[in-house]
Structure 1
Amino acid sequence: MNFLIISIVFFLLESYYSDDPNRLPTKCETCKYLTNEIAESLLSHNSPELIETGYNFDERLDKKKAKKYQDSEIRLIEVIEEVCERILQYNVHAERSGSLRYSKGESQTMNTLKNLKNRGCDQTVELYEEEIENWYKNERNNITLTEYLCERIILKNDDKSCLSEKFVENKEEEKKKSKKKETKKSDKNDL
């Protein structure tokens, strides 16, 4: 009985929030931020180290190979496993429009956009995992992941306008950030 009540409450909440365009991301926005996070994560997982592959339990078949970590499938797997957690750092800023209403950090209008992961990230990663792998193995030096996955595959026949939106901070936000930086510097100097 409790499960039924909880399910109904979640259904009603989901129905309420799914009608509000400021709450849930579009297909374009989900793709845009997913590919941005994968690209950023690949940059941070950019070690020049070599990894050894080809280990086997049977020493006769043990043919170790050295491979650059940058080109390894392990790197891509690590990035994909953590990308949806990184997406949860985004918040909705209802005072902004389009895809710009999502950004990392503290939101002026609400705490977090938890539905972003549930509504799009995991499903998108799972659904397009082979395409992401293909881009990583064959196309990453030729085209961005956003162009490859969003423009050519996911949004091929859909609205792509959010992909070209760029965020420009207003002067109030810039002042707040510079004040925070000054405060942090003075706090460090006081120590």
Structure 2
Amino acid sequence: METSWQKVNTFAMERFLLLCFMCMRSFTIAAEEERLPNRCEVCKFLTVELQAALDKTVRSKEVLEVGAVLDTGKRKRKIKYNTSETRLTEAVDNICEGILQYSVHAERPGSLRYAKGTSQTMATLKNLVHKGVNVELGLPYELWDEPSVEVSDMKKQCETMLEQYEDVVEDWYFNHQEERLERFLCETHILNSSEQGCLQEVWKGDLGFKGSKNEAAREGEAERKSHHAGEL
């Protein structure tokens, strides 16, 4: 059970985090363009979303019939759904919309600041609001969970990148699925070697926050599954 002293310390820490956040915000607004996602980050999360979409149907046993029945009596050609163009088309359709589910976790470094779920900073600010503290971020409270400028920009870049490298994605899908999508698309075809730093960044959790070990385990497991699926 939390003691009164612990409650005081918790509240003091939250106020301190709020002060730090507001100070950081004053510096980062001026450098907003520098904080927009780079090509490495865009490619990284494009492949994450595409692989996740494909993984949803990887075990499908559906068989498609293609082609028309001719007067000669020839039957329609049958192909497996999980190797069909239809599956790829459905996975790619609106794939970049998934980027809008990401939040900016300002407390994390590099590309790790982009992740789904509420950031530690935002969770702290909301907790302060619920306790009656007046927190002013320059926009209504009901808009706090709307996609940020960074996330919206990543979604736009994702759409452009997908359009530019559509042929490469198709080549991977039909001919190179034994190779991890991130490696094939980002490392081999899109990014220069000097741009690939973010691909090595893996979230290991912030041990300074309660529950972060579980969060790290969940995210680490999800990433391992994504990588394994790409190597099938």
Distance 1:159 1:52 in 2: 40
Corresponding residue number in structure 2 for 1:116: 154
Closer/same/farther in 2, CA of residues 37 and 57 from structure 1, 3 Å limit: same
Distance 1:103 1:149 in 2: 21
RMSD, aligned α-carbons: 2.6
> In structure 1, what residue type is equivalent to 2:195?
D
Corresponding residue number in structure 2 for 1:9: none
Distance 1:50 1:169 in 2: 39
State the identity as a percent. Answer: 35
Distance 1:153 1:173 in 2: 40
| Gap runs ≥5 in structure 1 | 1-14, 179-191
Match 2:198 to one of 147, 151, 162: 162
Please state whether the residue corresponding to 1:53 is helix, strand or coil: strand
- How far is the alpha carbon of 1:173 from its aligned partner? 5.1
Closer/same/farther in 2, CA of residues 71 and 93 from structure 1, 3 Å limit: same
Q: Do 1:91 and 1:103's aligned partners in 2 also have CA atoms closer than 8 Å?
A: yes
Distance 1:173 1:40 in 2: 28
Please state whether the residue corresponding to 1:158 is helix, strand or coil: helix
What does 1:1-191 align with in structure 2 at a 5 Å threshold?
Answer: 18-21=32-35, 24-56=36-68, 60=72, 63-107=75-119, 108-109=121-122, 111=145, 112=147, 113-118=151-156, 120-141=157-178, 143-171=179-207, 172=209, 174=211
Closer/same/farther in 2, CA of residues 35 and 175 from structure 1, 3 Å limit: closer
- How far is the alpha carbon of 1:55 from its aligned partner? 3.3
- How far is the alpha carbon of 1:97 from its aligned partner? 1.2
> In structure 1, what residue type is equivalent to 2:115?
S
Distance 2:33 2:64 in 1: 51
Distance 2:30 2:66 in 1: 52
- How far is the alpha carbon of 1:19 from its aligned partner? 2.0
- How far is the alpha carbon of 1:16 from its aligned partner? 6.4
Structure 2-normalised TM-score? 0.61
| Gap runs ≥5 in structure 2 | 1-28, 123-143, 216-232
Distance 1:138 1:39 in 2: 16
Q: Deviations over 1:12-52 (max 9, x none)?
A: xxx9675241xx21100000011111111111122432322
Aligned residues: 160
Please state whether the residue corresponding to 2:93 is helix, strand or coil: helix
- How far is the alpha carbon of 1:57 from its aligned partner? 7.3
Distance 2:162 2:205 in 1: 30
Q: Deviations over 1:105-139 (max 9, x none)?
A: 12335632222212x11001111010000000000
Structure 1-normalised TM-score? 0.73
> In structure 2, what residue type is equivalent to 1:84?
C
Q: Do 1:53 and 1:65's aligned partners in 2 also have CA atoms closer than 8 Å?
A: yes
Corresponding residue number in structure 1 for 2:227: none
